[in-house]
């Protein structure tokens, strides 16, 4: 099945810093989403982005489908950005395959 790799596994930032999270996938996909999981376990949708670039406030994402990777950019990070960020893809079957996540800690 499709493999999803996220990097880095852990990231520690000072408040106000910028960061880039990466997601590599091993096959073509029909669906790619970025999620933020809060400390209570809720997966919050950030982007639906199987290709192209999108921006939402301080967050933006780019997926280059032909090269099988996606990037999530966080600018001017805040302590509330802390948590685990997941990339998830859907290939030709119907299951959504998640990466192992990037754990982000933003220090005040």
Partner 1 sequence: DAGVTQSPTHLIKTRGQHVTLRCSPISGHKSVSWYQQVLGQGPQFIFQYYEKEERGRGNFPDRFSARQFPNYSSELNVNALLLGDSALYLCASGAGGRRDTQYFGPGTRLTVL
The CB-of-45 to partner 1 minimum distance in angstroms stands at 6
- Closer to partner 1 at the Cβ: 15 or 95? 95
DSSP 58-80: TEEEEEEGGGTEEEEEE-S--GG
Distance from the first to the final alpha carbon of the chain: 41
Closest Cα to residue 63, out of 32, 28, 99? Answer: 32
Q: Does 101 bind partner 1 (CB under 8 A)?
A: yes
Site string for partner 1, 57-96 (x = CB under 8 A): -----------------------------x-x-x-xxxxx
Interaction with partner 1 in 19-38: which residues (CB under 8 A)? 30-31, 33, 35
CA gap 108, 106 in Å, rounded: 7
CA gap 15, 43 in Å, rounded: 23
**Site of interaction with partner 1 (CB under 8 A):** 30-31, 33, 35, 40-43, 45, 48, 50, 86, 88, 90, 92-101
């Amino acid at each position: 099945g499709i493999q999803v790799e996220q990097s880095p596994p852990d990231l520690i930032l000072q408040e106000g810093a910028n960061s880039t999270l990466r997601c590599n996938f091993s096959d073509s996909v029909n669906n790619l989403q970025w999620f933020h999981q809060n400390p209570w376990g809720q997966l919050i949708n950030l982007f639906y982005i199987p290709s192209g670039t999108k921006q939402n406030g301080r967050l933006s994402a780019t997926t280059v489908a032909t090269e099988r990777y996606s990037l999530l950019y966080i600018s001017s990070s805040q302590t509330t950005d802390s948590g685990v960020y997941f990339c998830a893809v859907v290939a030709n079957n119907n299951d959504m395959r998640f990466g192992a996540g990037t754990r982000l800690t933003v220090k005040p």
